[in-house]
A = this chain, B = another copy of it.
Amino acid sequence: MATQTEPRPRARDPLTRERVLRAAVDLADREGIDALTMRNLARELGAEAMSLYYHVANKEAVLDGVVDVIMDEINRAVSAVDVPPATEDWKVVMRSRILAAREVLLRHRWASRLIETRTAISPTTMRYFDELLGVLHAGGFSYDLAHHAMHALGSRGLGFTQELFEPENADEGDEEMTEAMAEMAGQFPHLTGMMMEVAHDDPDSTLGWCDDQFEFEFGLDLILEGLEATRQRSGA
């Protein structure tokens, strides 16, 4: 056994586009998307940063590839959940597909923000949306209305949570919290009222009181039902 005291030996198979992209996803999962630099990625693979450029054009290509890996995982998850073939309600199929996609994005929380920065659309991504369109079309939507439907869903169609200002760190002390709220009451009566009403309904919650999964499904169902109503109305 050769002496190896390197901090990160990492069985040194030859590099590969695949290995590079997989390492990139792992790195982002483990240390966040900001840690995904060419130098860190290379170290992860036991190589030098410059070696990566033999397998990928540049960092942008790495990011494109990483999104592709995620979209592939989504496609896999979606086709795995799609088992019940006897379902005739397009809303049920759509819903379960989107929720499956969402689960993947929850496993890679950096991914949705990254996906939004892509300008080109890869075949893997096209496949996802093509199948979604297929569900609508099979459900009685004209392609024209299906087109509007896809826009109405927007990024929610991939399972994105739409939240602005995710709490991120709801670790603020309780006293600072109530103090801030007192100051808030005057300036922002409705925000204050809302928080008080919700706190009354469910005393356990002060901050971090939003059930993301519930809110996502609420918004999704609202849109799906609106689309179904539009479809029936337009007879298309």
Contacts and interface: CB of A to CB of B under 8 A. Distances in A.
Interface residues of A, number: 63
A164 B155 contact: yes
A165 B222 contact: no
B197 A144 contact: yes
Contacts of A123: 187
Interface string A130-154: 1101100100001110111001111
B127 A187 contact: yes
Contacts of A153: 162, 219
A77 interface: no
A230 to B, nearest CB: 7
A225 interface: yes
A63 interface: no
Q: Is the interface of A mostly helix, strand, loop or mixed?
A: helix
A227 interface: yes
A106 interface: no
A116 B129 CA distance: 24
A119 B169 CA distance: 8
Contacts of A113: 116-117
Contact of A198 (B120, B143, B152): B143
A229 B184 CA distance: 31
10 contacts: A118-B165, A123-B187, A127-B187, A129-B191, A142-B197, A144-B197, A144-B198, A151-B162, A154-B156, A156-B162
Lowest 7 CB-CB distances: which A-B pairs, in order? A154-B162, A152-B219, A133-B190, A151-B215, A143-B197, A143-B194, A130-B188
Given A123-B187, A127-B187, 16 more contacts: A113-B116, A119-B165, A119-B168, A119-B169, A130-B191, A133-B191, A133-B193, A143-B190, A143-B193, A143-B196, A144-B194, A144-B198, A146-B194, A151-B162, A151-B163, A223-B223
